[in-house]
Structure 1
Amino acid sequence: MKRIGRTLAAAAVVAACAVTGLAGPAAAHPAHPGSELLVDRHRPDVRVPFLVKRNGEAVLDLRAAANGTDWATAGAESAVVSISVDGKYATDLVVSGAAPLARQLALGGVRPGIHVLRLHLATDRSPVAGATVRIDRLEVTTYDKRDPEYQVLRFAPIMYGRNIAELGSRFQSATTDVPLIAWHEFAPAATPGHTVLTYSLIWSNEDGGTNTPALMARWGRTTDIEWTYALELDEHGDRVPGSDTYQAANHETLHSAGVYEGDHPRLETCTSNNNMCDVVDDPMRFFLSTLQTLPAGQPREHLMDTNPWTYQIMSKEMIREGKIEAPGPATTATPEVNDQRNYLYAVVGKTTQGNNSGSSWVGVALGVRLKNGNAVYLSNHVDPTWSIQRDIPAATTIELPAGTTLDDIAAVSARRVVVGADTGAPVHVTSLGRGFLLGPDYLPGPSLLDWTGDIELTTAAPEAVVWSP
């Protein structure tokens, strides 16, 4: 059973030690209204004790904000808090924006007793080194072997940042392609009774790999989502020796041969498109909680939907890095990415009959027609290869004229798109989901689409309206 050490902000910080209570098995609750911990370079580091009753894996929940930081503004992207337990470096937290944001981090293995959590403003890696980070919620939860979550936390990778010289400073993960959230998935292994446990991660963007317009068309976002580490567990829940792998450069799967902290492998983001290596030399460390998981039948972007702040970070990075089409006479016909608030974010489910790989294949693009005209705005713009090839629930976006609202949409259609020679393969469209726009604050608004059925697209009938109000 998990044990919760409540470490809640008190009204004052005395002699660099903020003590708000120690607790055993009890329900967590938010900090008292108006109370907060302040972390900056003008104050001693905040030190907060917490109690652990059994060996386990610790998770830190907190809510943080920093005035004067803004992920959209060059030179003011963030303030970085380095967090340690009993003097041992656990993780960095990149804080961006004045609005409090809830985050969940891992602290690693802990033994019974009283431990001290330390929060330090890392001025060496903070673009806004003079910021004050305000924390108004802070609690540590320990999961032991009796908890189902323990296994997921036990093997979770510790991710280090990226320091490719041509892409920025040695602390570039504080300003670009920052790790945002991580999660886990279980799947049956080939050996009966064994399980494959896979960990994945979302970065705010990728400076290499798929270009920005293609990301929006083929994947429905400009974040980067990759599996990072996988291992096989035996019938007792232990790692099968030699089974653990990671996603290396060029998306190659390699066996891990790096350093472990307990059962946690240390991996580093070491390519411009956020692939891993098992040799660590980056100064920034991201130990994200992996307690979240992906429900069956959902695209990976579902984890962004359940963490809507990721859309805000995604959009602000595109603005700051100049990857958004300049305002002006540009139209939806241009492939460049426009203001990301001008897109309908959708998910399509489909199946393609026969082999759909190689140089010739059949994809699907979604189209939107508005009530005030007959033009159909397509998710793949003018590039057939930007249509959706994969036969799993797939996210995409459709660029719409600025100012479009959900009430303006008259119909959503699906179009069969041929790449190379037409294989003749029919495509069955079976679901549409999501259908939201980003609001003025770049957060997702209400969803429009919730359709299931079966519509066949063929060479003779390549397009069909799938949904209309």
Structure 2
Amino acid sequence: MRDTAFVLAAAGGAPLLAHSPTPALASDTLVVERNGPARSITFTAARDGEAVIRFAASAPGVSWARQGAESAVLAIEVDGRHVTDLVVPAAEPTPRSLGLGPVRQGNHRVTLRFLNASAPAARRVNLVRPKVQMPTADQVALRHAPIVVGRTGWPFGDPYQNVRTDTPLVAWHESRPATTPGHRVLEYSMVWSNEDGGTDTPALMARWGRTTDVEWVYRVEVDAAGRRVDGSGVYQGPQHLTLKFTGRYEGDHPLLQTCTSNNNMCDVISPGAPLRFLPDASRTRPTDRAREVVMDREPWTYRVMAQELLREGRLEKTSDPATREVGDPRTYLFVELAKKTGGPTQGWGSAPGVSLGVRLKKDTSRLYRSDHGERTWSIERDGPAATTVELPEGTAVQDIASIEAIRQPVGLGDNGAPATVTTLHRGFLLGRSYLPQASAITWNGSVTLTPQSPTAPLWRGP
């Protein structure tokens, strides 16, 4: 077995620099093969703390879009202890970052093993420029991040289902002040490639602007020194209930398991569950942006999202914006807006949501709506929110004449509340390979929609 030795620089977050490179890794690529030996990286930690490993991962012959070729899977150990698994869903190099858990000052070994749970088409995994780091600024966030055990109970008791469906992609954390001065609350969220249950696919595109599943997972209060406040841990359980965490910790990492078809958690772990995921949750998101911004900065997540739709047969055979079924994801305009709702002007009726409409230069009389005319698919929540608008195949951003806001009560009656739209943060289409193209749409202003004036233009094309 060949090893690559690394030394952790004393400066926080500095990459581990190779001090004895081997000729086999002159290309900075570590190859882990099916039926081959495990591969290892050794490193020296300059201090106690949480470590992460980062690389670009690819698996030749793999495609999340093809049955039997969905992914290659690696088990990752630190000093012989199973820490996390890595699902590689693409033949193209994809940047990945995983937590390695707590390590003590001194020498350590990261071992990577190819799992037979990989798809039959998977033969090896290439890891380009693997680096282990111990970020200084993000240590508290890394320390309390949940370890998510793979789903085993649905469907059909398959313990390896996350290597083919609803796989975890990325994670992040958010922080806000707690009631106790000097304390704060950390909340951890994850993005899954899809959800096998829960909101149906067309409604996801209209109301959330994607078909990935984005959920908060775990929330905990920490004191000024970053220590967990006993009994403060809660998690998002089945039926989206907030439940007190009474499970087991590894250090400060709570162990949770995906236990529903829409990726909610349980704090009781199935015996022998083989898969576990500890994605790097050190990053956060701007408070004035929708959660989907974490996908925007990891463009490959859109490709995985689209490929799962293709493989699972969730797309109509011929894209048609006149139907409510989901068409080719490359025909959708992905938009993020910001809105707020005022108080009702009468005591009965439903509150309004907001939908977006798009007109094309070739026929400005036709309006393509994000809600497809279904009132419950408009956006009810205030603040930043993402949605999509299905357009005819072949449409480019330069073909768009205008984007307008539409006030839409979501239930019976209308309580008269005004809805104000203030921002379009971005608007893009997916390219041929299902990756986001550059955003060409932004707008800042303020338009207020009322029952008397339920529509207003926001953006006009050049």
Work out whether the TM-score is over 0.5: yes
Q: Secondary structure at the match of 2:205?
A: helix
Q: What are the equivalent positions in structure 2 for 1:203-214 lying under 5 Å apart?
A: 203-214=192-203
Give the counterpart letter for 1:441 in structure 2.
Answer: S
Query: In 2, Cα distance between the equivalents of 1:358 and 1:69?
Result: 55
The structural deviation recorded for 1:20 is 4.3
Of stretches 441-450 and 337-346 in structure 1, the one that deviates more from structure 2 is 441-450
Query: In 2, Cα distance between the equivalents of 1:358 and 1:303?
Result: 38
Flag structure 1 segments of 5+ consecutive residues without an equivalent: 1-15
Query: In 2, Cα distance between the equivalents of 1:421 and 1:283?
Result: 51
Please name the residue that 1:252 is paired with. Answer: 241
Q: Pick the aligned partner of 1:270 from 259, 265, 273.
A: 259
Q: What are the equivalent positions in structure 2 for 1:41-440 lying under 5 Å apart?
A: 41-123=34-116, 125-128=117-120, 131-143=123-135, 147-166=136-155, 169-281=158-270, 282-327=273-318, 331-354=320-343, 360-373=350-363, 374-419=365-410, 420-440=412-432
Matched positions, count: 448
1:63-98 C-alpha deviation (Å, 9 max, x unpaired): 211111100001110010000011100110001222
Distance change >3 Å, CA 355–CA 425, structure 1 → 2: closer
- Structure 2 residue 24 is matched with structure 1 residue 24: no
The structural deviation recorded for 1:258 is 0.6
Query: In 2, Cα distance between the equivalents of 1:178 and 1:100?
Result: 18
The structural deviation recorded for 1:311 is 0.2
The structural deviation recorded for 1:99 is 1.0
Of stretches 285-294 and 446-455 in structure 1, the one that deviates more from structure 2 is 446-455
Q: Pick the aligned partner of 2:444 from 452, 457, 461.
A: 452
Q: Is the 8 A contact 1:39 1:134 kept in 2?
A: yes
- Identical-residue share of aligned pairs (%): 49
Give the counterpart letter for 2:285 in structure 1.
Answer: L
The structural deviation recorded for 1:164 is 2.3
1:264-317 C-alpha deviation (Å, 9 max, x unpaired): 100010000000000112210001110110112000000000111100000000
Q: Secondary structure at the match of 1:314?
A: helix
Q: Is the 8 A contact 2:285 2:291 kept in 1?
A: yes
Q: Pick the aligned partner of 2:31 from 17, 33, 38.
A: 38
1:157-203 C-alpha deviation (Å, 9 max, x unpaired): 11111112425621000000000000000011122322111000000
Query: In 2, Cα distance between the equivalents of 1:93 and 1:234?
Result: 32
Taking structure 1 as the reference length, the TM-score comes to: 0.92
Q: Is the 8 A contact 2:142 2:280 kept in 1?
A: yes
Query: In 1, Cα distance between the equivalents of 2:143 and 2:45?
Result: 16
Of stretches 228-237 and 201-210 in structure 1, the one that deviates more from structure 2 is 228-237
Query: In 2, Cα distance between the equivalents of 1:234 and 1:21?
Result: 34
Query: In 1, Cα distance between the equivalents of 2:403 and 2:169?
Result: 32
Of stretches 183-192 and 316-325 in structure 1, the one that deviates more from structure 2 is 183-192
Please name the residue that 2:457 is paired with. Answer: 465
Query: In 1, Cα distance between the equivalents of 2:381 and 2:447?
Result: 17
Q: Where does structure 1 differ by over 6 angstroms across 4 or more consecutive aligned residues?
A: 29-33, 356-359
Q: Is the 8 A contact 1:69 1:128 kept in 2?
A: no
Give the counterpart letter for 2:351 in structure 1.
Answer: W
Query: In 1, Cα distance between the equivalents of 2:342 and 2:357?
Result: 22
CA RMSD between the two structures: 1.9
Flag structure 2 segments of 5+ consecutive residues without an equivalent: none
Q: Is the 8 A contact 2:351 2:416 kept in 1?
A: no
Query: In 1, Cα distance between the equivalents of 2:374 and 2:157?
Result: 32
Of stretches 87-96 and 166-175 in structure 1, the one that deviates more from structure 2 is 166-175
The structural deviation recorded for 1:223 is 0.3
Q: Is the 8 A contact 2:71 2:122 kept in 1?
A: no
Of stretches 395-404 and 150-159 in structure 1, the one that deviates more from structure 2 is 150-159
Distance change >3 Å, CA 233–CA 426, structure 1 → 2: same
The structural deviation recorded for 1:105 is 0.3
Distance change >3 Å, CA 130–CA 376, structure 1 → 2: closer
